[in-house]
Amino acid sequence: MTERTFQELLEPYAFANGAALKNRVVMAPMTNFAANPDGTVSDEELAYYERRSGGVGMVITACVYVSAGGKGFPGEFGADKDELIPSLKRLADTIKGQGAKAVLQIFHGGRQCPPDLLPDGQTVSASAVPAELPGGGQGPVPRELTDAEIESIIAAFGETTRRAIEAGFDGVEIHGANGYLVQQFFSPHSNRREDRWGGSLEKRLTFPLAVLREVKKAAAKHAGPEAFIVGYRFSPEEPETPGITMAETFALVDALTAEGLDYLHVSLREFWSLPHRGTEDKRSRIEQIVDRAGGKAPVIGVGSLYKAEDAAQALNSGVALVALGRPLLIDPDWVEKVEADRALDIETELDPSAQERLVIPNYLWGAITNTPGWMPVKG
């Protein structure tokens, strides 16, 4: 029996703006908790990215905060001031030096930020509604943002885009997923406002679309004739009631594609996961989203695609690109093995003795190995 070559994963891809990728595989954004205390990228982080940037066509970095009040993780690297541009350039150069496009994920954590990481210790959000925690209970009550503060955060997304361009990144991805601030404004759970920023579904779209417009404006102004990629990542549903449904997700897809952007990135833990509410269609969320995007923007899919066969099957759903997060933590040579017709050699379980070989930063390694169920681990 001959081994499949999975050539479909290795085909080049070009975005509508002309930016070209060498293949269809993307490194998904993953927080690694390894930045220096001043927000600069650490040598440990650079080594981690260098180890994983050689095979994939594009690397989407861990998220960076656009303002100090939006820092969401310990050890998160920043992009909220010009002094950090040299640090960002080191990262862009490291990724691009391995042959991949470098995309900076930009974000504000909103009510999800740990208060002890914030300058004034106060989380903020669309409304003063705490997050529901997965294990039960609630997070801290955020302060509702003022109109002027909202405008300032929108401007910060644009300024961070400028810094990404000056640092040499090939694009940015707006982080509108996983319950962070951009999603908080779209969600009926976290946005209870009755002004221009909230109330109706249309008004809850105001902030995400304003961020996208500001990012696109900065790209047009500062990237010049270069093909600069602007993407948007979103979570298709929320478990909370009220919360985002598939019907509202479709409205978001419609609004984003009407504005124009280079790709949509669907944040899923399981690629083929099924919808819960807001659609009568029984197909997977990703298939319905691809249909809704209707060719107006390519879709990136992600979620537990550990084997080459999994990723190849995912492409059959209609997504343009597949993103690998945990699979590249487990096996940084995932793409290279496909290229060498060694797909059966891809490791699909984490080797608990291989931190050094896998070049995984200490804090992230601790988080992985102390969080049962995060990813498959060799017994």
180 is catalytic: yes
How open is the CA angle 158-231-86, to the nearest 5 degrees?
Answer: 50
Q: How far apart are CA 226 and CA 223, in angstroms?
A: 6
Burial class (CB in 10 A: 0-12, 13-18, 19+), 357: exposed
Residue among 165, 173, 138, 136 nearest 30 (CA): 173
* Tokens encoding 255: 């609004």
Beta strands in the chain (DSSP E): 13-14, 20-21, 25-27, 58-65, 101-107, 124-125, 143-144, 171-176, 229-234, 263-266, 299-302, 321-324
Considering the candidates 48, 49, 65, 180, report the single residue annotated as catalytic: 180
For 254, half-sphere exposure in the C-beta direction (CA atoms, 13 angstrom radius) is 9
Query: What does the radius of gyration of the chain's CA atoms come to, in whole angstroms?
Result: 20
Residue 176, beta-bridge partner list: 234
Q: Which residues are catalytic?
A: 180
